[in-house]
Each structure stands twice: as C-alpha cells, then as structure tokens.
Amino acid sequence: DGGITQSPKYLFRKEGQNVTLSCEQNLNHDAMYWYRQDPGQGLRLIYYSQIVNDFQKGDIAEGYSVSREKKESFPLTVTSAQKNPTAFYLCASSIQGLDFYQPQHFGDGTRLSIL
C-alpha cells in the first residue's frame, strides 16, 4: 500500500543535540512538507519542497534544516538552535499539480521530547 512513513514514532533529545526525523513516501509525489503541531493548536509549516534538490522555508524554519536528495525522502533535522523543540512533527506529501491546490497525505507523526 502506498503511503508516508515517519520514524521514529517517539524521539528524545538531549540539550545541545541535533536529531533527525525521517520521512519516506512511496506515493510518487513531487511535493513534501514538514509541519509542527503543539498541543491544542493547528499545524505550522516548517519547510516544504516541490522538487528534488530544492526546498523553501515555511513560517517557522528557524532551528530546523532539511534536505531533498531523493524524491521519496525528506528528512528534518532539529538542531540545538531550536530552543523549544518539544512538539508533534508531521510530514506530508502531495501531487504537484499545475494549480497547486492538491490534498496533502500525512504520515502518523513523530513526537519529540526533551530529556
């Protein structure tokens, strides 16, 4: 079955440590996205990518970095510069239509906590 796989499901970060969240999709989608969700709130866009080797900052990119070396993969690194990283992180993908407004398909998230 096609879908998006995020791993790990739970992740703990120590002070000063960088951690990387994995996101893999086998839907053959061009566009991929990373969101952050805090308790009781909506989703905020961190980074997005429309094509391999290209990505753009979202609304809250500071303290995060991404890469898009393969169409299927869009890993997110939470760096030590992100002072409040505790949140639920969601990866999504969509077909890159000419009109852009396509539904997004989501993974089941990674919950990141500070040790």
Partner 1 sequence: SQQGEEDPQALSIQEGENATMNCSYKTSINNLQWYRQNSGRGLVHLILIRSNEREKHSGRLRVTLDTSKKSSSLLITASRAADTASYFCATSLRGNEKLTFGTGTRLTIIP
User: Which residues of this protein are in contact with partner 1, per CB under 8 A?
Assistant: 4, 6, 31, 35, 40-45, 48, 50, 58-59, 90, 92, 96, 99-101, 103-109, 111
Residue closer to partner 1 by CB (options 21, 92) is 92
Nearest approach in angstroms of CB 55 to partner 1 is 12
Q: Could you tell me if 85 and 34 are in contact, meaning their C-beta atoms sit under 8 angstroms apart?
A: no
Task: Collapse the DSSP code of 27 into the 3-class scheme (helix H, G, I; strand E, B; otherwise coil) and give the result.
Answer: coil
Nearest to 9 by CA among 113, 115, 114: 113
Q: What distance in Å separates the CA atoms of residue 21 and residue 6, rounded to the nearest whole number?
A: 7
72 alpha-carbon distance from chain centroid: 13
Nearest approach in angstroms of CB 16 to partner 1 is 28
Nearest approach in angstroms of CB 59 to partner 1 is 8
Residue closer to partner 1 by CB (options 6, 82) is 6
Residue closer to partner 1 by CB (options 78, 92) is 92
Residue closer to partner 1 by CB (options 48, 64) is 48
Q: What distance in Å separates the CA atoms of residue 74 and residue 50, rounded to the nearest whole number?
A: 11
